[in-house]
């Protein structure tokens, strides 16, 4: 018999119950007890929901982040959080977000750093280490969860992050070698295993996704050492890998002394045969055969076609699961009332994915006939998707095939273009601009909401938005900025806004996925060939330009950002979908140019996020990503100025690729790192213009004129003054006008001072 299990379940709740409970708790509206009650209810529901499988996970639930939970489990709590009085939960939220419900504003500590969980859009709290770090087990919470879960299911499997991945994810604060901590850490794990064993646990899922990364010898040795030591425990370990192929770690993964190995058979299907060859015959092989990171229905017949011979060979040694934790997909497709009926049949969210795992196991255990009806309806859905006219548009495919190199190239090089642009725009030295959005006031949100719900007619909506744009232009005149923006009041979100107006995109009502803590995102679904049926931003930009003599920047979202923040179709390579997006946005770029917009910004906030986990694959990703940008941007005339914007400061390692985008101006985040980014310019001479952000828009603080001058002077040591711009780090959407006005005023004053100096 083939066994089924799950690796992890979304914790936020179908209706984001956890989010709302957390936020109320932080505001002091509900007590700690009420919060834990809601969490317990959610847990109970999730365990019941997962009971269709043989083994269900425990300990994957978290009030904020499972990596932070692991830090607490191992007693690795930064001293700054432990110093203040309060409960364990207070300490927890202090590390998570700088303060807990009972702390006053002045007693907050700085929150733990947050970073992306491998190549997903989930952010975890980075564990902090130094050479003095010592671990001490505190398994109370986990043991309590195990106790509770048992009331719902017989076979429960605690999920913990493996010791090597835990070290890998953390940051050494004093530059000491994290691996030096391994011995002490292993002692804590050994103790943990003892407690789990005493609690009657049989299987433990131990996640070591580092096995899909490029590992140095030292890290490989750490894995060997860890598992050879931990094998002293009688617990059965399911060593779990996901998000990629094992490649050169395959043999190592197979040889580690554990009872079972989980392989992500979605991203590493071609490694299944090799793993079976290498895996000692007493070990269980768990295969992740349902994609835990995307929303498409599994092709069950196609999966069974390759899985049946594997099952025949492995028999009882085969387990089935989703490829990774279901944390990365929405909870329940059945919650979607408005989703297009046809598209809906193509999708599976977390609950539906569990059913797929169950069905596959049933087909293997009792023959395909035993689930013939379900396989039949699955087949019908898969066929409908692959043949739908709404998915496939011949003209779009033909256009992608016809992309030639000329479409990627500006007519002239940067120098010639810059001369023309200088003449056309007559900008001062150190020109000032902003990144696009201005404060999204309550008023603006109300107008959009009223329009969405039909309380406001299209005409009245447009009129209201025009007034917002006018106000925004007026403020920019008063501030004396050089290149204006219209302020983006009409946009809810930089991807959704464009997706909603393109063919090939679908949107959910409740398809929330946790991004970090209580924050969720609702990624659009790219289901079909992307086309642009009409202009998107032209009317707004043209209107804004009519209000001023200053150049008005057109504002677009780039193809990589659209791709990286959506659920992307899996029936064609990502680069193909990306080129379709590129063509659609290219058309918008050209339409803006035709409408008299001389400066166009194409945001690529998420370009870096798409980088593959293994560095060896970076170049091929960057090749097609940069090509897509060039196709988007480079059809314009020499005198039209292309800007791009990126939200991250570490781009040293991809600087040559960014230069290849050939944007006339790039604006980036830098103020937080005190222009550390500029070190990269010592090695690599960025050829075009650059605006290193001088105003940290994530903070309510207002930068002083002096601080802006100092940052820009630092920049001018590396980049000729003629090629520098002065701008904030990112859009001003989340700030208030009271903050924005003085900050921009200082920015303009700094720019004027600097241009006098030069």
Give DSSP secondary structure letters for 52-68. Answer: TSSBEEES---SS-HHH
According to CB under 5 A, which residues from 585 to 644 bind Zn ion? 605
Q: How far is the CB of 494 from ligand GLN (least distance, A)?
A: 5
- 265, 329, 435, 631: which one binds ligand GLN (CB under 6 A): 435
Give me the catalytic one of 110, 376, 534, 698.
698
- Residue 530 or 647 with smaller CB distance to Zn ion: 647
Does 731 bind ligand GLN (CB under 6 A)? Our answer is: yes
Q: How far is the CB of 492 from ligand GLN (least distance, A)?
A: 11
Nearest Cα to Cα of residue 485 among 596, 405, 599: 599
Q: How far is the CB of 435 from ligand GLN (least distance, A)?
A: 4
- 94, 99, 643, 733: which one binds ligand GLN (CB under 6 A): 733
- 162, 288, 436, 524: which one binds ligand GLN (CB under 6 A): 436
- Residue 436 or 598 with smaller CB distance to ligand GLN: 436
Burial class (CB in 10 A: 0-12, 13-18, 19+), 9: buried
C-alpha angle 447-449-451 in degrees, rounded to nearest 5: 70
Nearest Cα to Cα of residue 484 among 591, 599, 592, 595: 599
Q: How far is the CB of 730 from Zn ion (least distance, A)?
A: 3
- Residue 468 or 488 with smaller CB distance to ligand GLN: 488
Q: How far is the CB of 446 from ligand GLN (least distance, A)?
A: 19
Are 547 and 536 in contact, with CB atoms under 8 Å apart?
no
Q: Give me the 540-569 binding string for ligand GLN, x by CB under 6 A, dash otherwise.
A: ---------------x--------------
- Residue 449 or 734 with smaller CB distance to Zn ion: 734
- Residue 381 or 555 with smaller CB distance to ligand GLN: 555
Backbone Cα Rg of the chain: 27
Angle formed by the axes of helices 618-633 and 574-594, to 10°? 20
- Residue 196 or 556 with smaller CB distance to ligand GLN: 556
The tokens for 482 are 């050089």
d(CA 648, CA 646): 6
- Residue 65 or 604 with smaller CB distance to Zn ion: 604
Other beta carbons within 10 Å of 458: 8
- Residue 284 or 605 with smaller CB distance to Zn ion: 605
Nearest Cα to Cα of residue 319 among 368, 375, 378, 259: 259
The tokens for 249 are 């770690």
Give DSSP secondary structure letters for 431-462. Answer: -B---SB----HHHHHHHHHHHTTSS-HHHHH
- 290, 418, 605, 712: which one binds ligand GLN (CB under 6 A): 605
- Residue 102 or 492 with smaller CB distance to ligand GLN: 492
Are 163 and 182 in contact, with CB atoms under 8 Å apart?
yes
Strands of 301-344, DSSP E: 318-322
| Strand bridging mode 123-125 / 114-116 | antiparallel
Q: How far is the CB of 611 from ligand GLN (least distance, A)?
A: 17
4 binds, among ligand GLN, Zn ion, none (CB under 5 to 8 A by kind): none
Q: How far is the CB of 671 from Zn ion (least distance, A)?
A: 12
- Residue 642 or 730 with smaller CB distance to Zn ion: 730
Q: How far is the CB of 731 from Zn ion (least distance, A)?
A: 6
Stretch that binds ligand GLN, among 122-130, 430-438, 511-519, 700-708 (CB under 6 A): 430-438
Q: How far is the CB of 389 from ligand GLN (least distance, A)?
A: 34
589 binds, among Zn ion, ligand GLN, none (CB under 5 to 8 A by kind): none
C-alpha angle 377-383-389 in degrees, rounded to nearest 5: 130
634 binds, among Zn ion, ligand GLN, none (CB under 5 to 8 A by kind): none
- Residue 222 or 555 with smaller CB distance to ligand GLN: 555
The tokens for 44 are 């109970």
Question: Among all chains, which residue has been given the structure tokens 């709290």?
Answer: 125
537 binds, among Zn ion, ligand GLN, none (CB under 5 to 8 A by kind): none
Q: Give me the 443-482 binding string for ligand GLN, x by CB under 6 A, dash otherwise.
A: ----------------------------------------
Q: How far is CA 220 from CA 22, 171, 188, 217, 444, in A?
A: 39, 19, 20, 5, 54
Residue nearest to ligand GLN (CB): 731
303 binds, among ligand GLN, Zn ion, none (CB under 5 to 8 A by kind): none
- 326, 647, 711, 748: which one binds Zn ion (CB under 5 A): 647
- 730, 732, 743, 754: which one binds Zn ion (CB under 5 A): 730
Backbone angles phi, psi at 614, to 5 degrees: -95, 130
In DSSP terms, 194 is beta-bridged to none
Does 555 bind Zn ion (CB under 5 A)? Our answer is: no
Stretch that binds ligand GLN, among 33-41, 99-107, 214-222, 431-439 (CB under 6 A): 431-439
Does 502 bind Zn ion (CB under 5 A)? Our answer is: no
Are 260 and 238 in contact, with CB atoms under 8 Å apart?
yes
- 249, 352, 437, 641: which one binds ligand GLN (CB under 6 A): 437
d(CA 601, CA 485): 10
According to CB under 6 A, which residues from 492 to 511 bind ligand GLN? 494
- 65, 103, 603, 739: which one binds ligand GLN (CB under 6 A): 603
555 binds, among Zn ion, ligand GLN, none (CB under 5 to 8 A by kind): ligand GLN
Element (H, E) at 164: helix 163-169
Q: How far is the CB of 264 from ligand GLN (least distance, A)?
A: 30
Burial class (CB in 10 A: 0-12, 13-18, 19+), 28: exposed
Applying CB under 6 A, the site for ligand GLN has a residue count of 13
Stretch that binds ligand GLN, among 56-64, 512-520, 729-737, 738-746 (CB under 6 A): 729-737
Query: What DSSP character marks residue 9?
Result: -
- Residue 219 or 498 with smaller CB distance to ligand GLN: 498
Question: Among all chains, which residue has been given the structure tokens 């903050």?
Answer: 739
Q: How far is the CB of 485 from ligand GLN (least distance, A)?
A: 8
C-alpha angle 655-661-662 in degrees, rounded to nearest 5: 105
Using DSSP's 3-state secondary structure scheme, residue 301 falls into helix
Q: Give me the 643-682 binding string for ligand GLN, x by CB under 6 A, dash otherwise.
A: --x-x-----------------------------------
Backbone angles phi, psi at 321, to 5 degrees: -160, 170
Sign of the torsion angle spanned by Cα atoms 747, 753, 755, 758: negative
- Residue 377 or 736 with smaller CB distance to ligand GLN: 736
In DSSP terms, 668 is beta-bridged to 646, 692
- Side-chain-facing half-sphere of 290: CA atoms under 13 Å: 32
Q: How far is the CB of 735 from Zn ion (least distance, A)?
A: 13
437 binds, among ligand GLN, Zn ion, none (CB under 5 to 8 A by kind): ligand GLN
Does 730 bind ligand GLN (CB under 6 A)? Our answer is: yes
Query: What DSSP character marks residue 27?
Result: T
Give DSSP secondary structure letters for 184-247. Answer: HHHHHHHHHHHHHHHTT--EEEEE-GGGGS---HHHHHHHHHHHHHHTTS-SEEEEE--SS--G
Query: What DSSP character marks residue 425?
Result: H
Q: Is 153 a catalytic residue?
A: no
Stretch that binds ligand GLN, among 87-95, 126-134, 191-199, 433-441 (CB under 6 A): 433-441
Other beta carbons within 10 Å of 223: 23
* Residues assigned a catalytic role: 698
| Interface residues toward Zn ion, by CB under 5 A | 605, 647, 730
| Interface residues toward ligand GLN, by CB under 6 A | 435-437, 488, 494, 555, 603, 605, 645, 647, 730-731, 733
């Amino acid at each position: 018999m083939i066994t089924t299990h799950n690796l992890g379940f979304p914790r936020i709740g179908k209706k984001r119950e956890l989010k709302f409970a957390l936020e109320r708790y932080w505001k002091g509206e509900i007590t700690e007890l009420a919060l834990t009650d809601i969490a317990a209810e959610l847990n109970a529901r999730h365990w019941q929901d997962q009971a269709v499988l043989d083994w269900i996970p425990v300990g994957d639930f978290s009030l904020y982040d499972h990596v932070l939970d692991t830090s607490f489990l191992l007693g690795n709590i930064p001293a700054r959080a432990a110093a203040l009085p309060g409960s364990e939960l207070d300490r927890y939220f202090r590390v998570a977000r700088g303060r807990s419900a009972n702390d006053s504003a002045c007693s907050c500590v700085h929150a733990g750093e947050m970073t992306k969980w491998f190549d997903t859009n989930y952010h975890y709290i980075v564990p902090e280490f130094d050479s003095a770090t010592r671990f001490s087990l505190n398994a109370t919470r986990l043991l309590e969860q195990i106790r509770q879960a048992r009331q719902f299911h017989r076979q429960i499997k605690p999920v913990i992050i493996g010791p090597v991945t835990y070290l890998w994810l953390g940051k050494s604060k004093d530059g000491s070698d994290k691996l030096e901590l391994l011995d002490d850490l292993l002692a804590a794990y050994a103790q943990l295993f003892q407690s789990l064993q005493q609690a009657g646990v049989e299987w433990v899922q131990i996640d070591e996704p580092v096995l899909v990364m490029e590992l140095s010898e030292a890290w490989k040795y750490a894995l060997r050492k860890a598992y050879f030591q931990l094998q002293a425990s009688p617990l059965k370990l399911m060593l779990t890998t996901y998000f990629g192929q094992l490649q050169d770690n395959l043999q190592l993964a197979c040889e580690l002394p554990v009872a079972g190995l989980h392989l992500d058979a979605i991203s590493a299907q071609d490694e299944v045969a090799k793993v079976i060859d290498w895996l000692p015959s007493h070990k269980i092989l768990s295969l992740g055969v349902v994609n835990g990171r995307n929303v498409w229905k599994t092709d069950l017949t196609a999966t069974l076609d390759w899985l049946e011979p594997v099952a025949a060979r492995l028999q009882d040694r085969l387990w089935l699961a989703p490829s990774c934790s279901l944390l990365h997909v929405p909870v329940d497709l059945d919650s979607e009332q408005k989703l297009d009926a046809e598209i809906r049949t193509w999708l599976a969210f977390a609950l539906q994915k569990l059913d797929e795992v169950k069905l596959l196991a049933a087909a293997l255990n009792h023959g395909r006939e035993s689930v013939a009806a379900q396989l039949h309806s699955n087949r019908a859905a898969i066929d409908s998707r692959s043949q739908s006219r709404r998915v496939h548009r011949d003209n779009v495919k033909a256009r992608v095939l016809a992309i030639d190199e000329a479409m990627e190239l500006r007519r002239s090089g940067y120098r010639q273009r810059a001369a023309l642009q200088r003449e056309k725009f007559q900008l001062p030295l150190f020109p000032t601009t902003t990144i696009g959005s201005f404060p999204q006031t309550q008023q603006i949100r109300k107008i959009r909401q009223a329009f969405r719900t039909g309380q406001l007619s299209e005409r009245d909506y447009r009129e209201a938005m025009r007034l917002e744009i006018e106000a925004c232009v007026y403020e920019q005149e008063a501030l004396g900025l050089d290149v204006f923006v219209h302020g983006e009041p009409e946009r809810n979100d930089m991807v959704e806004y464009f997706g909603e107006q393109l063919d090939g995109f679908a949107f959910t009502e409740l398809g929330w996925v946790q991004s970090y803590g209580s924050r969720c995102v609702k990624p659009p679904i790219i289901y079909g060939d992307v086309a642009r049926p009409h202009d998107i931003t032209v009317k707004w930009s043209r209107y804004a330009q009519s209000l001023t003599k200053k150049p008005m920047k057109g504002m677009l979202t780039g193809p990589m950002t659209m791709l990286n923040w959506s659920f992307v179709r899996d029936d064609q390579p990502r680069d193909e979908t990306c080129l379709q997006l590129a063509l659609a946005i290219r058309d918008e770029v050209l339409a803006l140019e035709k409408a008299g917009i001389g400066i166009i910004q194409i945001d690529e906030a998420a370009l870096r996020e798409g980088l593959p986990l293994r560095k060896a694959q970076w170049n091929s990703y960057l090749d097609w990503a940069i090509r897509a940008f060039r196709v988007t941007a480079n059809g314009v005339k020499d005198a039209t100025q292309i800007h791009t914007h990126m939200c991250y400061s570490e781009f040293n390692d991809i600087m040559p690729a960014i230069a290849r985008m050939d944007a006339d101006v790039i604006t980036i985040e830098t103020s937080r790192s005190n222009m550390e980014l500029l070190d990269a310019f010592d090695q690599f001479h960025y050829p075009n213009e650059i605006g290193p952000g001088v105003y940290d828009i994530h903070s309510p603080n207002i930068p002083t004129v002096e601080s802006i001058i100092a940052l820009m002077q630092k920049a001018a040591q590396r980049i000729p003054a003629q090629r520098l711009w002065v701008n904030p780090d990112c859009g001003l959407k989340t700030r208030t006008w009271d903050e924005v006005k003085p900050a921009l005023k200082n920015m303009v004053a700094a720019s004027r001072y600097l241009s006098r100096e030069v």
